Amino acid sequence: MLNKRMVKALNMQINNELYSAYLYLSMSAHSTFIGMKGFANWFMVQYQEEMTHAMKIYDYINDQGGQVKLMAVAEPPAEFGSPLDMFEKTLKHERFITKCINDLVDLAVKEKDHATNIFLQWFVTEQIEEEANDNDIISKLKLVGKEGNGLFMIDKELAARVFTPPAPSKESQA
Cβ proximity to ligand FEO: between 23 and 151 the closer is 23
Residue 56 binding ligand FEO, by CB under 6 A: no
Q: Residue 134 interacts with ligand FEO (CB under 6 A)?
A: no
Taking the least distance from each CB to ligand FEO, the nearer of 130 and 155 is 130
CA dist., res. 131 & res. 45, Å (int): 16
| Alpha-carbon gap, residue 64 to 132, rounded angstroms | 32
- Looking at the Cβ atoms of 17 and 155, the one nearer to ligand FEO is 17
| Three-state DSSP class for residue 108 | helix
Nearest to 129 by CA among 171, 160, 101: 101
Question: What number of other Cβ atoms are within 10 A of residue 7's Cβ?
Answer: 18
Closest to ligand FEO by CB, 9 vs 151, is 9
Identity at 74, one-letter amino acid code? A
Helix (H, G, I), strand (E, B) or coil at 39: helix
Q: Closest separation between CB of residue 50 and ligand FEO, Å?
A: 5
Q: How many residues bind ligand FEO (CB under 6 A)?
A: 7
Residues 115, 66 contacting (CB under 8 angstroms): no
Closest distance between ligand FEO and the C-beta of residue 109, in Å? 21
Q: Does 97 bind ligand FEO (CB under 6 A)?
A: yes
The residue (of 147 and 168) whose beta carbon lies closer to ligand FEO is: 168
Per CB under 6 A, the list member of 53, 60, 87, 151 interacting with ligand FEO is 53
| H-assigned helices in 34-169 | 37-63, 83-110, 114-144, 148-158
Residues at the interface with ligand FEO (CB under 6 A): 17, 20, 50, 53, 94, 97, 130
